[in-house]
Amino acid sequence: MTRSSHCPYCALQCAMSLTPAGARIEVAGRDFPTNRGGLCKKGWTSAEVLDTTDRVTRPLRRVDGGFEEVSWAEALDDIARRLRDIRSSHGADAVGVFGGGGLTNEKAYQLGKFARIALGTSRIDYNGRFCMSSAAAAGNRAFGVDRGLPFPVEDLDDARTILLLGSNVAATMPPFIGHLAGARAAGGLVVVDPRRSETARLTEDGGGIHVQPAPGTDLVVLLGLTHVVLAEGLADSAYLAERTVGLDELRREVNRWWPERVQEVTGVPAAQLRQVARRLAEGRAFILTGRGVEQHVDGTDTATAAINLALVLGLPGRVEGGRAVSGYGTLTGQGNGQGGREHGQKADQLPGYRKITDPAAREHVASVWGVPPESIPGPGVPAVELLGMLGREVKALLVHGSNVVVSAPDAAAVTRALDELDLLVVCDFVPSETALLADYILPVTQWAEEEGTMTSLEGRVLRRRRAIDPPAEARSELWVMRELARRLDAPGTWSTDAAEVFDELARASAGGIADYSGLSHARLDEGVAAFWPYPAGSAGTPRLFEDRFAHPDGLARLVAVIPRLREPGAQRGGELTLVTGRLLEHYQSGAQTRRVPELVTARPEAALQIHPATASRLGIASGDLVEITSPRGVTRARAEVTSGIRHDTVFLPFHFPGAERANTLTEAAVDPVSAMPEFKRTLVSVARVEEVPA
């Protein structure tokens, strides 16, 4: 029977039909507002991972020189015993939990609960910290709520202008470019990227403008645009007076960023800044940010500056004829990057996007969990700090849905630290680079083998359905958590039925910012368009901010942000700036897509993009093997000489492990507000490597 489901990868959550054909399933695109029937290469080939040849199908225990198969009972008994021992010798916080934005809402919720009341640890965080935390912090600060897109994605279709900062949707969410068609036809797609990315190239047919600043200078670009809007009288004064606070201080800060000064810092011509600002002020404009501007030590401030620009222009919350006609949003990345940041796997958070420090939130959630509020630990530490504690304060780590050996900053240090642990348990369905370091690998079910829900980049809650039976010994993580909770004598109930867990999540979220209490699997199965907040008795909230922002006074905050310009030479490293990012063919650490033959054939290895002038100065030709060196380490890749990048910048994808690992080079420096690491700016040197013929 054909099942309606959604893609296992990114936050666009393209709709699919899954039809079992013998032991395999056939994937077809299905019409849906986000993808309109389209899928990218990764989506088309996603079913290949279900029966990949090295799929983990039984619990594995580390032995000298490899792994041996063990029964579930043996594995779980031993893990529970060792967790108890670590806890009694070092305290409950010596056990850490690392979650993922790919987990369903049900699993993410249960993992937060499991950490707090079965393990009693505060030390849970997740890979969304690498991904969404800066934009989330900026959204919370300005609007009082963090929903990536506060409007359905199809509202972008009628835009005249879309300013896309640090986002390469043509490679990272291909069907999304359908929603750029209106702006392109109107000549109004503006792409800000130091590279002529696939998305920047969409502007070349006269459909828009490519702005090419030096990496890490977007905050200044945004201050310059805001300066022009205010200086040329293009601001929406009535909107600012009625709907915002903080204009005076903002005006003082941006006064100092006239276009010629911005040009000096960023390399963006003053005339181009004026052109973009004027264009945005013509109305029907959207401003969208991606990881390119967020994964920096000033990512929260940069996202804030983008929101300030949007507010000064009066864009957010403008709804006409039942559609948002302008606005600001961030393009959430992982499949459940949105839901994954709402239900409690974040160090400082309880379900419903509640604060773990809020006594009323603790009381409400404790009553749902059936525990006393004081038994819920306080806030833990963010991901990079948690990884920095491995082998020291943290002796055991449970990993659910992340491959940190490849994807964490300063990955060589993380790999060494994982080795120092007394116990590493990884739930996965493939032997990822992280799983291969574990004491136990526990085989879990994949997307098409289990029921659950995801929340798309627009805050739309979706049903994923089981279409195929899992391998006999693979188990849902809900089952793994139940079995461990039982062995740890945990309080509370631990359902293994996703619909029941959803109902509990809905109760726990009731009254919170991300309120799901009006939803259930059954309700979703009726096909409602379910945008949160969706309190019981409501019809959900496709568009936020029409009447008010989520702060108690209903007003948005303009937060004056100041660039912390680095003195030349203040950061150690070579003379080139390395930015890292994504290729169309691979997903994240590549644990899944490097197992799909078609994708591997298309992109077998990492390539370093480098400008022809820079390459010739360094004696490098396309195809040469090069070594990239930062203060953290050395990585190898083939050179791809291209004029589509600035002279001072090189680009490396982060999907590859081992000697090609981009994160060998990155530093564990983080944004002070969000604790998001700086993946997009590392100083490196590049040199050609002599290849000895075999």
Which residues would be at the binding site for ligand MGD (CB under 6 A)?
Answer: 10, 100-103, 127, 130-131, 165-169, 171-173, 192-195, 197, 215-216, 218, 290-293, 295, 333-334, 400-403, 406-407, 427-430, 432, 444, 477, 579-582, 584, 586-589, 591-592, 651, 654, 662-663, 666, 679-680
The residue among 103 and 173 lying less far from ligand SF4, judged by its C-beta, is: 173
Residue 667 CB, nearest distance to ligand MGD (Å)?
Answer: 11
Given phi > 0 = left and psi -120 to 50 = alpha, else beta, which region is 134?
alpha
On the 0-12 / 13-18 / 19+ scale of CB atoms within 10 A, 500 is middle
From the list 35-43, 197-205, 529-537, 539-547, the region that binds ligand SF4 by CB under 6 A is 35-43
39 interacts with ligand SF4 by CB under 6 A: yes
Tell me if 596 contacts ligand SF4 by CB under 6 A: no
**Nearer to Mo ion among residue 387 and residue 683 (C-beta):** 387
- Report the C-alpha gap between 57 and 11 in whole angstroms: 27
Distance in angstroms (rounded) separating the CA atoms of residues 64 and 245: 63
174 binds, among Mo ion, ligand MGD, ligand SF4, none (CB under 5 to 8 A by kind): ligand SF4
Tell the smallest beta-carbon distance from residue 458 to ligand MGD (Å). Answer: 15
Cβ proximity to ligand SF4, 9 vs 534, nearer residue: 9
Q: Does 290 bind Mo ion (CB under 5 A)?
A: no
Decide if residue 7 touches ligand SF4 (CB under 6 A).
yes
Q: Return phi, psi of residue 130, to 5°.
A: -80, -10
Contact between 447 and ligand SF4 by CB under 6 A: the answer reads: no
The least CB distance from residue 644 to Mo ion, in Å, is: 23
In Å, how far are 316, 418, 420 from 392, measured between CA atoms? Answer: 46, 11, 8
Binding of Mo ion by 131 (CB under 5 A): yes
Q: Where are the alpha helices (DSSP H) in 56-119?
A: 72-90, 105-113
Let me know: does 620 contact 656? Beta carbons within 8 Å: no
User: Which residues, at least 6 apart from 387, have a Cβ–Cβ distance to it below 8 Å?
Assistant: 98, 404, 408, 414, 417, 668
Shortest Å, Cβ 333 to Mo ion: 3
**CA-to-CA dists, residue 376 to 175, 480, 488, angstroms:** 42, 21, 16
Are the CB atoms for 170 and 197 separated by under 8 Å?
Answer: yes
Query: Nearest residue to ligand SF4, using CB?
Result: 43
Residue 333 sits in the site that holds Mo ion (CB under 5 A) = yes
Q: Which lies closer to ligand MGD via its Cβ, residue 177 or residue 231?
A: 177
Residues composing the chain:
694
679 interacts with, out of ligand MGD, Mo ion, ligand SF4, none, CB within 5 to 8 A per kind: ligand MGD
Closer Cβ to ligand MGD, 332 or 541, answer by number: 332
Q: Which of 5, 14, 276, 458 binds ligand SF4 (CB under 6 A)?
A: 14
To the nearest whole angstrom, how small is the minimum distance from the Cβ of residue 39 to ligand SF4? 4
Residue 148 in contact with ligand SF4, rule: CB under 6 A = no
- Show the 3-state SS of 433-486: CCHHHCCEEEEECCHHHCCEEEECCCCEEEEECCCCCCCCCCECHHHHHHHHHH
Q: Residue 691 and residue 447: Cα distance in Å, rounded?
A: 43
Residue 154 CB, shortest distance to ligand MGD, in Å, is: 19
Q: How far is the CB of 91 from ligand MGD (least distance, A)?
A: 26
Q: Is 291 in the site for ligand SF4 (CB under 6 A)?
A: no
For residue 191, CA distances in Å to 184, 199, 235, 421 come to: 11, 7, 22, 44
- Residue numbers of the site for Mo ion (CB under 5 A)? 131, 333
- Residue numbers of the site for ligand SF4 (CB under 6 A)? 7, 9-10, 12-14, 35, 39-40, 42-43, 173-175
